Amino acid sequence: MNEISANPNLSDVRLRITKIVLCFWLVGWFLKAGFFSFYIFEEVIVFPYQMNFFPRFFQSPLVLGFFYLLPLLCVTGLYRDNAFYLRFSGWIMLIASCVLLLHQDTHNDATFLTSFWVAVWFLWLVYQEMSTNKVMLLHAKSLALCVIAFIFAGAFIGKLTPEYWSGQAFADIFMQQDYGWIGQWIRAHFPEDNIRTGFWWLSKAIIVGEGIMATAPLWPYSFILWFGIALMVSISFFTTWLIFSVLACLIGLLYAVGHMEWKN
């Protein structure tokens, strides 16, 4: 029998975890499909540019389009309780995110960075041979926190500059770009000086929050679960909901392992 429920290498709890993570991963991957469909299938073809730093494979628009659409095959993993389909989905997630992370036209989009590391965790999980759910959950939870910490460490270190700590960078971006419905309401009801004063405090809160997430393995999991999800959702209030293309897979990773802890 190939069903995961009958396979000692892939338990029921692992099945639920992987499906939650896979669902959130696909949401994040295709959240900006409206933008990427134009960018990948029109703009980079009509107005190609060449960066000699990248090998030819990672300059090709055809490669870019193929690997962006490839994860559509992962939908099978959501509907089939079968080890083969989940492992197949894991390899597609890993390969597609790796290619777009290294491609000249998408290497600077953090969507594919977070997607890649969550795919690494996902693929590790579906190949584990542990039969004890508690042992598997402990390892899965620990590695999930390491992935979260690694990603947020980069964001935290990148903001340790006078411009970000003072709030100037955040305020400049906020005032110059159309960032979210809350942002539009704030700009319409408050003078710029008050907004910049608010960002003096808000920038510090964001940096401290990212610093806490960068040390995620040191905190109780229940705290990181709720604090991390609240932080990532809050960031979207002052940016744009499209930020979930980067954050959805991380939210799914936190929620999935925490959800299994509640159930057991």
Which has more confidence, 251 or 1? Answer: 251
Give Cα 90 distance to the centre of its chain. Answer: 15
Sign, Cα dihedral of 201, 204, 210, 212: negative
Q: What percent of the chain has pLDDT over 70?
A: 88
User: What average pLDDT does the structure give for the chain?
Assistant: 85
Which has more confidence, 176 or 224? Answer: 224
Residue 242 pLDDT > 90 = no
Residue 18 pLDDT > 80 = yes
What's at 241, amino acid-wise? W
pLDDT band at 8 (very low <50, low <70, confident <90, very high): very low
Residue 87 structure tokens: 């492992």
Q: What percent of the chain has pLDDT over 90?
A: 45
Helix (H, G, I), strand (E, B) or coil at 180: helix
Spatial separation of the C-alpha atoms in residues 145 and 250, rounded to whole Å = 10
Q: What is the pTM of this model?
A: 0.87
**What residue ranges do the domains of the chain occupy?**
1-131, 141-264
Residue 61 structure tokens: 């628009």
Do 115 and 127 form a contact (C-beta atoms < 8 A)? Answer: no
Instruction: Give which of 111, 119, 113, 89 is closest to 33, Cα–Cα.
Output: 111
- What pLDDT, on a 0 to 100 scale, did the predictor assign at position 7? 43
- Which of 58-62, 102-106, 174-178 is the least confident region? 174-178
- What pLDDT, on a 0 to 100 scale, did the predictor assign at position 13? 73
Alpha helices by DSSP H, listed for the chain, are: 12-30, 33-38, 44-46, 61-69, 76-79, 83-102, 110-126, 133-158, 162-165, 168-176, 180-189, 192-214, 221-237, 244-263
